[in-house]
Structure 1
Amino acid sequence: MRITMTTPAPDDVVSLAETLDGWQLDGGPLQLHPGDLGWFSMRGIEATASAMRVWLREGRPVAIGLLDGDDLLRLGIAPPALDDGELAAAIARSVADPSRGVLPAGVVSVEARGADALAACLIGAGWGTGDPWVPLHRDLSDPVEATPLRVEVVEGDLVEPWSEVHFSAFRGGEFTDAVRGRMVHNWQTMAAGPLYDRARSLLGRDEAGTPVAAAAVWSAGHGRPGLIEPLAVRRGQQGKGFGRAMTLACASVLRDLGASSATVCAEASNPAAVATYASAGFTAAPEVPDLRRHA
């Protein structure tokens, strides 16, 4: 059966996120999650649609990709199609040819966890492996232990301190008025968009009331794995247990949203992050590298 690839219209993004909902399975690979689309939607729903690629069989999505930057394609594949050789070959052709509008020439990466057929296709075509990642998972059947942080759901005036903590953790430097304005605008764009309905942004304060941690959690619907993306601890405040405490808060909120489990993926090169999630009851799966074309 013929497989085609398309770039969706903005009006199609929500239905494709709902398709990704159904592909999230406990015990399955940690693939592209609807929360990844939601986080990307800080750029706007039109930009999110433009960054997506969808592979269709008989008009139905069997793989959904997100171009997360110029050189990285992140994939979610329908679980029954993870070992589908025909689909793997179609995706491999799409990513190999820059004229198809997926990836450019040169060094590029594909994140396709659990897609053994695609990995075999690309490695057979001369691709290698790239950065290794550690998927982590915590079952949410039972209540989550209390966190020592005071955790607030972000809205209104809390957007600015949430943005400042996130900036401090991932970028550092001076939180200028221009940076503040841009980050608050991006958060507001995301929160006003159609992909944020089942998400929560969280701000954690220490005993003195100082914002020390920020995170967002994303539900894929009742009885499915939820995602933590991102989780940040203010620079200079690491090593004090705030990461573990915020992770517990995220897991608790996901449980309240109906998630069956909480998932997160950490760079294998960041053992402190892996240890933080493990200390909050997460179990690490074996490392999974991206697939990389080196030339």
Structure 2
Amino acid sequence: MISGMSILAEAVAALREWQHDDAPVQLHPGDLGWFWRAGAQATAAAVRTWRRDGRIVAVGLLDEPDLLRLTVAPDALRDEELARQLAEDLAHGVLPPGEVSLEAPPGALVRDLLAEDGWRAGEAWTPLVRDLTEPVADPGLRIEVIGPEQAPVWAGVLRASFDGSTFTEQRWHAMAAGAPFADARCLLAHHQGTAVAAVAVWSAGPGRRGLLEPMGVHRDHRHHGHGRAITLAAAAALRELGSSSALVCTPSTNVAAVATYRSAGFRQLPQRRDLHRDA
């Protein structure tokens, strides 16, 4: 029997391998790393894997009870046998009955099959990427790479950046204990001695695409360019970690976030939509 933690480690390794600049924007090991704030057991319970000949060819993260974030190995995006298996499993057990949503890479055959089965376009997302070949401009603020001692400050800035956030110091420690965090950094931006913005960046290894997740600016310190500054710092940190490019994805309705990322040198990619199944 393969343990949940062993499967989780294999899933993280597969997701690392699939992060290439010419591959579709897809689930990243950093997404699992950010989910790890709920703890290792909860993360293992939320991950689904599909195999062929012993190799993982698809990974899903049940990010919410009614939302599965699914990705497929780049060389299997149009594989009919896998796509039909995924569609069958999504209809019978992987997702609960009733109204649900699915994130899947553009071009994946499973999207076509689900659309034929009545799934419709759901929430719109805007991915943005920045090439990291060249050095990144100075952000203009003091940037701190935090460790356990600064976790309460980082958690506090993050809570103040998102309405309804329940992020805590304990959740930071749980996240930092996860396997993906070995290639991650948590940054704080300071203005006149006050922490004003926070970001986590996740490398998938040298020569692969890195991820920003999450990024937030304290609600009391907005409209001063701090979002652009912490985003520049995030890009620079990923470049130091060896990432070939930096990726961030935000709801298309968050036009302010899209503008912030673009101001930090990120290039907007075509909008993508989740798939939604009505009750």
TM-score range, shorter chain: over 0.9
Alpha-carbon distance in 1 for matches of 2:71, 2:109? 13
Alpha-carbon distance in 2 for matches of 1:45, 1:261? 28
> Does the 8 Å CA contact 1:144/1:252 hold for their aligned counterparts?
yes
Within the candidate set 227, 249, 264, 1:243 is matched to 227
TM-superposed deviation, 1:7: 9.2
Within the candidate set 125, 128, 139, 2:117 is matched to 125
Q: Deviations over 1:30-50 (max 9, x none)?
A: 100000011111111111111
Letter matched to residue 190 of structure 2: R
Give the match for residue 179 of structure 2.
Answer: 194
Within the candidate set 24, 46, 67, 2:19 is matched to 24
Give the match for residue 60 of structure 2.
Answer: 65
Give the structure-1-normalised TM-score: 0.91
Within the candidate set 102, 107, 111, 2:99 is matched to 107
Alpha-carbon distance in 2 for matches of 1:185, 1:265? 26
Alpha-carbon distance in 1 for matches of 2:270, 2:96? 30
Letter matched to residue 186 of structure 1: R
TM-superposed deviation, 1:161: 1.2
Alpha-carbon distance in 1 for matches of 2:64, 2:123? 15
Give the match for residue 259 of structure 1.
Answer: 243
TM-superposed deviation, 1:172: 5.6
Letter matched to residue 118 of structure 1: V
* Residues 1:46 and 2:41 are matched in the alignment: yes
Give the match for residue 155 of structure 2.
Answer: 163
What pairs up with 1:73-84 in 2 under 5 angstroms?
A: 73-84=68-79
Give the structure-2-normalised TM-score: 0.96
Instruction: Name structure 2 gaps, 5 residues minimum.
Output: none
Alpha-carbon distance in 2 for matches of 1:213, 1:61? 37
Within the candidate set 228, 241, 256, 1:272 is matched to 256
> Does the 8 Å CA contact 2:72/2:108 hold for their aligned counterparts?
no
Instruction: Name structure 1 gaps, 5 residues minimum.
Output: 1-5, 174-178
Alpha-carbon distance in 1 for matches of 2:148, 2:194? 17
TM-superposed deviation, 1:15: 2.5
Letter matched to residue 221 of structure 1: G
Within the candidate set 112, 132, 141, 1:140 is matched to 132
TM-superposed deviation, 1:192: 2.1
The RMSD of aligned alpha carbons is 1.6
Give the number of aligned pairs. Answer: 279
Q: Deviations over 1:75-116 (max 9, x none)?
A: 12100111112111111111112xx2x111111011002243
> Does the 8 Å CA contact 1:53/1:66 hold for their aligned counterparts?
yes
Give the match for residue 92 of structure 1.
Answer: 87
Alpha-carbon distance in 2 for matches of 1:40, 1:172? 17
Letter matched to residue 81 of structure 1: A
TM-superposed deviation, 1:157: 2.7
User: Taking every aligned residue pair, what percent have the same amino acid on both sides?
Assistant: 48
